[in-house]
Each structure stands twice: as C-alpha cells, then as structure tokens.
Amino acid sequence: MVKRIIANATVAKGAARAIAGSVKPAARKQGGTTAPKPANARRESPDAARIEEIFRRFAAAAPNPKGELDYVNPFTLLVAVVLSAQATDSGVNKATKALFAIADTPQKMLALGEDRLREMIKTIGLYRTKAKHVIALSQQLVDNLGGIVPNDREALERLPGVGRKTANVVLNIAFGAPTIAVDTHIFRVSNRIPLAPGKTPLDVERGLERIIPDTHKLHAHHWLILHGRYVCKARRPECERCLIVDLCEFPGKTVVN
C-alpha cells in the first residue's frame, strides 16, 4: 500500500482535542472588552490584540495541525478534496483507500476509467458527478499540464469540479501557501466569535486574510476547521471545552466569563 504523507484522521482529531482543552484561557481583564471591529479593521486596532491571542492559543495547543483527508501526493489530495464536497472526510477516506492504491496519478486515473472509478466511490454522495469531474480534471492535467497539479489558484480553478475552496485547500496543504479555505465550519466560527464577519465565504476569506497575523496564516485554516468541527459546533457549541471562550463575543455561548 502506498504510504501516506500526512497524518490520518486520528492524528487530526488529537489536534482538535488539543485545541479544545490543552491551553487554559487567559483571565479576562476587569472592565470588559472592546467590541470587535469590522473585518476590514487594520491590525493596529485595539481588537488586534484579541485576534493575536486567539491564534496564539490555537498555535500553542496544536503547533502542527493536519487535515483529515488521506492522500499520497498533490494529485490524490486534489481528488480527495473534490470528492469531499457534501461528504464527510471519513467517508471519503474509506472510499479512496483502495482507489489511491491503484490510481495515484492522472494517467493511472484515466486508465482506471470512469465506470470503474464510479464503482469505487459509490458510497460517496454525488458520486456520479464527482467521477466525471475526476476523470475530466485528470484528462486536463495530462493534456495541458504534463500531469502535474499546478501551484496556482487560477489554473486549479480551471479544472472541472474545482472551486476556490478546493483550490485553497490544495495550495495550503500540498504547497504550503498561507491560504484560507472557507468551508461551513470556518464560515460559522468566523461569524460567531466573531473574527471576520461576512455574508459570503469570499467575504470571510478576505476578512480573515486581513486580520490573521502573518505568523499564523499557514495553519489558521486547520485550526478554525477543527475548532468548528469538534468544539464550536453548529447546534450546540461546547463552550465548556473552548480555550478561547473568554475572548468570544458570541451572545449564545453557554459559559459566562
């Protein structure tokens, strides 16, 4: 079996547990806090110290967070992210374990063919459309890019089934770019805490890019996803386990500072 080059979901969940509780929140200063500034506020604003402290704690709890999708190279990462749309990472990993053992390059994926690919990923939601996208993007990689996944957002977004979020994930994980891939978890957390409120994922992405300190941008995407997935949950945020609860301004939080 091809050796994976990132930690599996168990490791990622360990990072999430670390984010949830390994660092104690700093005591809130007497007199309350300054209300959060708009997402486009400069880092020199009074709220900059709050943002810096939030990401300092995430970094202290999980210095090297990992994604939960299994992959073996940039191509398989790209395929895994395309398959993960409206599906769980664990479900994708179950389907791609056998797939990536026999088709870990665009050329091999084309040789596998759409029919067999569809059969191997049929447990994943929207598998028929996704199979078409994977075969089509593999063909474009071979025909136009020498079979190499590009380190360029615009080039990635020209591939079938690849949008801005998918491109940002690939750029961040495969190429170490400080991109912010805004999924449902990051969108919720950013608006809830708040960090960079916005009406659309692109608004949130641009807002986060402005306010997150440069020293933390590389891993910010992972910290926020893990925080939203395992702590700041949609239905009931587990504020009792949150390491930034004293810095959170969400009126519905279940812990009073």
Domain map (residue ranges) of the chain: 19-65+180-247, 74-175
Q: Could you tell me the pTM of the whole model?
A: 0.81
In CATH, what class is 74-175? mainly alpha
Query: Domain 19-65+180-247 is of which CATH architecture?
Result: Orthogonal Bundle (1.10)
Query: Out of 37, 183, 199, 203, which one is annotated catalytic?
Result: 183
Annotated binding site for [4Fe-4S] cluster: 232, 239, 242, 248
Query: Out of 165, 203, 217, 253, which one is annotated catalytic?
Result: 165
Q: Which residues are CB-neighbours of 126 under 8 A, at least 6 positions away?
A: 85, 86, 87
Indicate the residue type of 137. L
Query: Per-residue pLDDT for the chain (257 aa), expressed as one digit of tens each?
Result: 443 443 344 444 455 455 554 434 433 333 334 444 444 444 445 589 999 999 999 999 999 999 999 999 999 999 999 999 989 999 999 999 999 999 999 999 999 999 999 999 999 999 999 999 999 999 999 999 999 999 999 999 999 999 999 999 999 999 999 999 999 999 999 999 999 999 999 999 999 999 999 999 999 999 999 999 999 999 999 999 999 999 999 998 887 66
Orientation angle between helical segments 48-61 and 217-230, nearest 10 degrees: 80
- Domains 19-65+180-247 and 74-175 belong to one CATH topology: no
Is there a catalytic annotation at residue 214?
Answer: no
Question: What was the pLDDT predicted at 3?
Answer: 39
pLDDT in tens, 39-79: 444 444 558 999 999 999 999 999 999 999 999 999 999 99
- CA–CA distance, 111 with 193 (Å, rounded to integer): 47
